[in-house]
């Protein structure tokens, strides 16, 4: 075949197969038999191999999975992927409706959609071509899984219009694909996936895209990240626009003007959900008007214009075989029910927390009882109640011990607490749990040093306190199970890097009672060094707005302990940073900055700073950084591809700056 004829045939096959893909995977209306599609794809693969210059990024051959990746790159979302607040009953939905109507008034319309139980992803297109896909991650930073998303046939590699756009959706594994995958795993003697959500997430985080391609995933689009110049003015219109571009959206959505209609729709799907070919775990209710969404705004974590209704938890009956006790890092003794394994909401449950002795007494729980189990929020197993009518007389009462099950120290119940507590500071269980907390993400964030490795190190007496972590050697780590040369090198690198963390990370990691991550940052900003904080008086501590008397007492008592100061000296000797490295907040009264007291909104892509860096620097000068534009906004900083927020700012006559102008002002 000559070159011109080959180019023509390749283009013809690409267009034809893309059309067949769209008909089959998006419209669910295949126009050709599978055998014919496979034959045409085989021909295209052969031609592209012979004439590689004509292989394009939107060719159907790109969906079979490419080279194995070394790792996933991090991606910063230009518009944060916020989580939704939850509603669990009719009252919660009515409260949501009341808050919306009080805030915006006028006519309200809601769009109700099925809440697909999968993995939230973001897709970016430039001039109509798919260029990047990422996981939600923590909402601000996700992972680049473009190669794996390309294998999902319902995701168009080229849109019907040459637009630049970022869209969000839910990747999921249909029930049939899930059943086939688990059947294959069991046949191979492998552990099956617990549920389709885990299977979808696991498939999209494979470094080998060919594995993702074999899993038959699917995806529904549910929003546009920034409507920009699309002309879209409502959420429902946005979904229609996504369909026009060639995306697959869920067709079970409906638009209503009253919350009563919403509730009726939700209740209907509570009954119908088992008959769907995919899993859903609730319904999403969104205010339809984008102007009203902007007016309602967001909190730090979730939009005020949307809510997720969670279906009532599935309840099952099983036998409570025993009650085990565990000791937490603060010494609290927690009883845990050991259950006859039972399937609940898609996973096998064998354990459920009983919280404390008072709950066991209140629910009259005995060892050997038949009990009703559910998952709170479809996640955490809990005992709902016992079935006393099934008792045989052989059930046994449970009594909490008087001494710690780990160190035999006498247990105490502190004033106004229901929990029993071990107050021995040398209790092995508390030390082990404290070490696990110290290396966790919100604390020192030492990658590779998880619970299993910490437990091994502690059991082998290689670490006894947090300072020992920084004394670990390559030889010691190589002696552990499943720790090879590369793993050990990576772990030692992560430990070394953690020494440079800002003070608040260390402060939270030390596990001072009542001091969470936010309070740790407040303390670090206020005192700047560990030395100054350790010498603070109770009055100095309570003078800080966010620090109450209870927390102040806990901090003061912690630093009174001589052993704490010995530990801090060891950490200093190991090279661990003891100073706050972030921007120090300035009160509006003390700041002479232009930004002091102003409400600022960031929009579009910033070139020189990340969104979080800009936010930190503005807040350090006394600004309040908001997520949406309203009449209360004083200033909008607009980067590249700024969309609806910029448009609204211009409509309201709000001052708009470029990133360059912001940086000049920040440097003053």
CATH 1.10.150.20 intervals, the chain: 428-498, 503-573
Q: Which of 652, 659, 609 is nearest to 294 (CA)?
A: 652
The mean pLDDT value of the chain amounts to 88
Within 13 Å and on the Cβ side, how many CA atoms surround 642? Answer: 22
Q: Residue 586 above 80 pLDDT? A: no
CATH of 503-573, one of 2.60.40.2250, 3.40.50.720, 1.10.150.20, 3.30.70.20: 1.10.150.20
> What residues contact residue 166 under an 8 Å CB cut-off, 6+ apart?
78, 79, 122, 123, 124, 125, 224, 225, 226
Least confident residue range of 186-195, 306-315, 540-549: 186-195
Active site residues: 115
The separation between the first and the last C-alpha atoms of the chain, rounded to the nearest angstrom, is 67
CATH 3.40.50.10190 intervals, the chain: 599-666
Coil, strand or helix at 54: helix
Coil, strand or helix at 3: helix
Q: Residue 658 above 70 pLDDT? A: yes
At the top level of CATH, the class of 86-310 is alpha beta
Q: Quick one: average pLDDT of 267-280?
A: 89
Q: Which of 409, 401, 354, 116 is nearest to 249 (CA)?
A: 116
Q: Residue 589 above 70 pLDDT? A: no
Coil, strand or helix at 428: helix
- The residues with which 166 forms a beta bridge, in sequence order, are 124
Is the separation of the CB atoms in 66 and 209 below 8 Å?
Answer: yes
Q: Quick one: average pLDDT of 329-347?
A: 87
Tell me how many degrees the CA angle 516-519-523 measures, rounded to the nearest 5.
135
**Residue position matching structure tokens 């939009």:** 303
- Most confident listed range (165-179, 411-425, 441-455): 165-179
- Give the pLDDT of residue 228: 77
What is the second-level CATH architecture of the domain 599-666? 3-Layer(aba) Sandwich (3.40)
Q: Residue 248 above 90 pLDDT? A: yes
Which pair of structure tokens corresponds to residue 73? 């790159």
> Pairing between strand 599-603 and 421-422?
unpaired
- Give the pLDDT of residue 259: 95
- The residues with which 115 forms a beta bridge, in sequence order, are 282
Cα–Cα dist 431/328, whole Å = 9
Backbone angles phi, psi at 180, to 5 degrees: -65, -40
Is the separation of the CB atoms in 434 and 511 below 8 Å?
Answer: yes
Confidence bin at 198 (pLDDT 50/70/90): confident
- Most confident listed range (59-63, 121-125, 208-212, 661-665): 121-125
Task: Name the strand (E) or helix (H) holding 120.
Answer: strand 119-126
Query: Longest Cα pair distance anywhere in the chain, in angstroms?
Result: 88
- Give the pLDDT of residue 122: 95
**Residue position matching structure tokens 């950084």:** 625
Give the CA distances from residue 375 to residues 120, 349, 371, 372, in Å, rounded to whole numbers and listed in that order.
Answer: 22, 9, 13, 11
Q: How many of the other CB atoms lie within 10 Å of CB of 441?
A: 11
Q: Residue 66 above 70 pLDDT? A: no
CATH numeric code, 315-412:
2.40.50.140
- Give the pLDDT of residue 309: 94
What is the second-level CATH architecture of the domain 428-498? Orthogonal Bundle (1.10)
Pick the residue with more confidence: 478 or 187?
478
> Pairing between strand 254-256 and 119-126?
unpaired
pTM above 0.85, yes or no: no
Fold for the domain defined by 3-64? Helix Hairpins (1.10.287)
Q: Quick one: average pLDDT of 592-596?
A: 84
Q: Quick one: average pLDDT of 200-227?
A: 90
Task: Name the strand (E) or helix (H) holding 232.
Answer: none
Q: Per residue in 298-322, pLDDT tens?
A: 876 789 999 999 888 778 999 999 9
């Amino acid at each position: 075949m000559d070159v011109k004829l080959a180019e023509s045939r390749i283009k013809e096959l690409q267009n034809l197969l893309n059309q067949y893909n769209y008909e089959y995977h998006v419209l669910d209306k295949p126009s050709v038999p599978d055998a014919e599609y496979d034959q045409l794809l085989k021909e295209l693969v052969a031609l592209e191999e012979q004439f590689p210059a004509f292989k394009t990024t939107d060719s159907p051959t790109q969906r079979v999975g490419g080279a194995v990746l070394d790792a996933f790159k991090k991606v910063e979302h230009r518009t944060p992927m916020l989580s939704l607040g939850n509603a669990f009953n009719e009252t919660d939905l009515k409260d949501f409706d009341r808050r919306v109507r009080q805030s915006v008034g006028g006519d309200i319309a809601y769009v109700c959609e099925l809440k697909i139980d999968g993995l939230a992803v973001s897709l970016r297109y430039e001039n109509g071509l798919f260029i990047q896909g990422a996981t939600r991650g923590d909402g601000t930073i996700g992972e680049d899984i473009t190669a794996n998303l390309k294998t999902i046939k319902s995701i168009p590699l080229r849109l019907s219009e040459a637009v630049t756009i970022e869209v969000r959706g839910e990747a999921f594994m249909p029930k049939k694909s899930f059943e086939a995958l688990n059947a294959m795993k069991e046949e191979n003697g492998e552990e099956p996936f617990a549920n389709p959500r885990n299977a979808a997430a696991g498939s999209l985080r494979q470094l080998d895209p060919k594995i993702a391609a074999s899993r038959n995933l699917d995806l529904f689009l549910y929003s546009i990240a920034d409507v920009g110049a699309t002309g879209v003015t409502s959420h429902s219109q946005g979904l229609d626009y996504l369909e026009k571009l060639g995306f697959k959206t869920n067709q079970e959505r409906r638009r209503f003007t009253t919350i009563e209609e919403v509730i009726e729709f939700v209740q209907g799907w509570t009954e119908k959900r088992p008959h769907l070919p995919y899993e859903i775990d609730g319904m999403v209710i969104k205010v339809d008007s984008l102007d009203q969404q902007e007016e309602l705004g967001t909190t730090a974590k979730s939009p005020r214009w949307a809510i997720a209704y969670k279906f009532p938890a599935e309840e099952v009956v099983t036998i409570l075989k025993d009650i085990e006790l565990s000791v937490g890092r603060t010494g609290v003794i927690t009883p845990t029910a050991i259950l006859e394994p039972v399937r609940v909401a898609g996973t096998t449950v064998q354990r459920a927390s009983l919280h404390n002795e008072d709950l066991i007494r209140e629910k009259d729980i005995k060892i050997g009882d038949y009990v009703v189990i559910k998952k709170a929020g479809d996640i955490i197993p809990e005992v709902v109640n016992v079935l006393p009518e099934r008792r045989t007389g052989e059930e046994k009462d449970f009594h909490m011990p008087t001494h710690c099950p780990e160190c035999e120290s006498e247990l105490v119940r502190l004033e106004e607490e229901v929990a029993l507590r071990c107050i021995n500071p040398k209790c092995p269980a508390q030390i082990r749990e404290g070490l696990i907390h110290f290396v966790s993400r919100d604390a020192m964030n030492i990658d590779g040093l998880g619970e299993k490795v910490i437990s091994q190190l502690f059991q082998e007496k290689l670490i006894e306190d947090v300072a020992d972590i920084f004394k670990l050697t390559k030889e010691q780590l190589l002696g552990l199970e499943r720790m090879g040369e590369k793993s050990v090198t990576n772990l030692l690198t992560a430990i070394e890097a953690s020494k440079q963390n800002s003070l608040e990370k260390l402060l939270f990691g030390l596990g001072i009672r009542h001091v969470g991550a936010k309070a740790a940052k407040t303390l670090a900003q206020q005192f700047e060094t560990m030395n100054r904080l350790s010498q603070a008086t109770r009055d100095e501590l309570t003078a800080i707005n966010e620090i109450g008397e209870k927390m102040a007492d806990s901090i003061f008592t912690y630093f009174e302990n001589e052993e704490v100061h010995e530990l801090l000296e060891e950490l200093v000797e190991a090279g661990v940073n003891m100073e706050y490295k972030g921007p120090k907040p300035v009160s509006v009264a003390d700041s002479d900055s232009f930004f002091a007291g102003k409400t600022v909104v960031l929009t579009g892509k910033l070139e020189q700073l990340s969104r979080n860096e800009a936010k930190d620097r503005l807040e350090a000068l006394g600004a309040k950084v908001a997520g949406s534009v309203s009449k209360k906004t004083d200033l909008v900083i607009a980067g590249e591809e700024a969309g609806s927020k910029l448009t609204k700012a211009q409509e309201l006559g709000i001052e708009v700056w470029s990133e360059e102008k912001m940086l000049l002002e920040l440097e003053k």
